[in-house]
């Protein structure tokens, strides 16, 4: 089915994201973080990283490289490992909660 879409009207109907857009490069391992107010959108611009998302069944890891995009579900603890460095672009809902606990599921 062919359908014309008024993009401006569709965008006007969306809620405003209360967060920030981040672009930067880092190497190493980040702390665990989660976002209670919405999903986080992450695009890998250069390099590679492993994103680990803590699920109810335990950690689930995703190997990401340049050009890949992933959506981290609202409220899910997650962290990145990028031993050789990675450049990312993310749309991150605020506030962001961080923990250095080995298993963030223990954090209330």
Cα torsion 25, 27, 31, 36 to 10°: value is 30
Closest C-alpha to 42, from 24, 58, 56: 24
Cβ neighbors of 35 (< 8 A, separation 6 or more) are 19, 72, 74, 75, 92, 93, 94, 95, 96, 97
Structural contact between residues 33 and 79, judged by C-beta atoms closer than 8 angstroms: yes
**pTM greater than 0.75:** yes
50 part of a folded domain? yes
Beta bridge partners of 15: none
Domain that holds residue 31: 16-94
pLDDT attached to residue 47: 98
42 part of a folded domain? yes
3 part of a folded domain? no
54 part of a folded domain? yes
Query: Does residue 105 surpass a pLDDT of 90?
Result: no
**Structural domain total, the chain:** 1
> Cβ of 27: how many Cβ atoms within 10 Å?
12
49 part of a folded domain? yes
17-68 pLDDT per residue, tens: 677 888 999 999 999 999 999 999 999 999 999 999 998 889 999 999 999 9
Query: Does residue 102 surpass a pLDDT of 90?
Result: no
pLDDT attached to residue 56: 85
105 part of a folded domain? no
Query: Average of pLDDT values for 93-106?
Result: 88
4 part of a folded domain? no
Closest C-alpha to 90, from 65, 75, 72, 108: 72
What average pLDDT does the structure give for the chain? 91
Question: Residue 20 is part of a domain; what is its CATH number?
Answer: 2.60.120.10
């Amino acid at each position: 089915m062919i359908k014309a879409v008024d993009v401006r009207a569709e965008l006007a109907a969306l809620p405003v994201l209360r967060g920030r857009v981040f672009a930067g490069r880092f190497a190493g391992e980040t702390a665990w973080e989660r976002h209670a107010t919405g999903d986080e959108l992450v695009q890998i611009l250069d390099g590679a990283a492993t994103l680990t998302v803590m699920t109810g069944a335990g950690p689930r890891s995703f190997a990401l490289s340049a050009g890949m995009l992933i959506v981290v579900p609202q409220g899910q603890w997650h962290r990145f490992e990028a031993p050789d460095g990675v450049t990312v672009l993310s749309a991150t809902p605020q506030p962001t909660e961080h923990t250095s606990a080995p298993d963030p599921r223990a954090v209330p």
